[in-house]
Amino acid sequence: MQYYSKNKSIVLAALILWLFSQGALALTVSGGGETIITGGNGDPDLGNLVPVKTVFAFNATKKKGHVDGRFECLALAPSAPGSGDLSANVMYVTGIVSELERNGRKKAVMRGLARITGLGAGEDVPFEATIGAGPTGATFSLTVESLPDVVFREIVIDGRIQIER
């Protein structure tokens, strides 16, 4: 009986590995809400540090090796020096997700090409978003090729990010 149970476990593990290799198990990520960029923008030593809020939304699915998805992120900064009114559009990223992979149990990475206005403006700009699952307090980071030395590290202040297999 123990021999049968051991072989059954091996067969089950082999089946799961085969399903993953065939792309039969889909990966879906989705989210939306608002974030605050950690550390804001600017240089505190120069006295020009400002808060930056983003509004984000994305949805992507990978099934049988095919990825279908969209990514949107709008960055808003103060409308005037010293203002707490975060309504000035400083960057907008709208892109198509072409790569999606799991990165640990509660993280995923999306890559694709985006149209960007404002900071890092350009057409077909490669982007990468690393997302962490969860409600308020979840994190994600965004990099765009047109701003090679910048990583936008963000914390969700309202909304949710989901990663489902």
Question: What average pLDDT score do residues 110-138 get?
Answer: 97
pLDDT at 70 over 70: yes
Tally of CB atoms within 10 A around 112: 21
Cα 55 to Cα 16: distance, rounded to the nearest angstrom: 37
- Average pLDDT across the chain, whole number: 88
Q: What is the pLDDT of residue 46?
A: 67
pLDDT at 17 over 80: no
